[in-house]
Amino acid sequence: MATTTGPTVADLLARNKATLSSFQPRPLFSEMPAMDLPLPSTIIVGCCDARAHPEEFFCLRPNEVIVLRTAAGRVSPVLKDLAALEAFIGYGKVKQLLIVHHTDCGGSHMKAADIKAHIISRRPAMKPEIEAWDTPSFGGKSPTESVKHDVAIVQQDELLSETLRKGTKGFVFDIKTGVVHEV
């Protein structure tokens, strides 16, 4: 396995402190109607990979877009969250859902059977439950194929509004060129 590293908690808190001189306070939900500020109508589901931040490659500003990040950007783990967000924002008010997978994703390097075997080795008694899990693995698919698979999952989810299902599109972010293209 790869070696791991990263900033310490103290490092992160120091970085936060450095942002405060330019931080702009955000409006409360209760303040937004009087300020004529709408809620976001776009949600992005992307991979948690530290090389693939949607905030960076889409130049996102505060209160513009909701970003959900999962292992490999798989949409299945957040279907309930999407339904809950529609309940909060308003059924049919979320117009666009972008599912973004990326090149060289861990999901294309991991096999579902290996992930499950690894976890089962630590909790053998849970084998039947773990065997039934969805995993982030692309299952031998390319990012283009995996993202199409996830778009189809959303489009078939009857708990989500027709507006959201019809507004769902798939994309692949190329980590070498920075280009995001629609699939």
Least gap, CB of 79 to Zn ion (angstroms) = 19
Least gap, CB of 75 to Zn ion (angstroms) = 13
11 carries a ligand binding annotation: no
Name which of 11 and 56 has its Cβ closer to Zn ion.
56
Dmax (CA) for the chain in angstroms is: 56
List binders of Zn ion among 104-123 (CB under 5 A): 105
Number of residues binding to Zn ion, judged by CB under 5 A: 4
Least gap, CB of 111 to Zn ion (angstroms) = 15
Core vs surface per residue 54-91: b (16+ CB within 10 A) or e: beebbebeeeebbbbbbbbbbbeebeeebbebbeebee
- What spatial distance separates the first Cα and last Cα of the chain, rounded to whole Å? 31
The C-alpha atoms of residue 116 and residue 113 are separated, in whole angstroms, by 5
Least gap, CB of 95 to Zn ion (angstroms) = 26
53 carries a ligand binding annotation: no
105 carries a ligand binding annotation: yes
59 carries a ligand binding annotation: no
List binders of Zn ion among 47-106 (CB under 5 A): 47, 49, 72, 105
DSSP assigned state of 141: -
Closest CA to 60 of 100, 90, 32, 88: 100
Which residues are known binding-site members for Zn(2+)? 47, 49, 102, 105
By the criterion CB under 5 A, which residues form the site for Zn ion? 47, 49, 72, 105
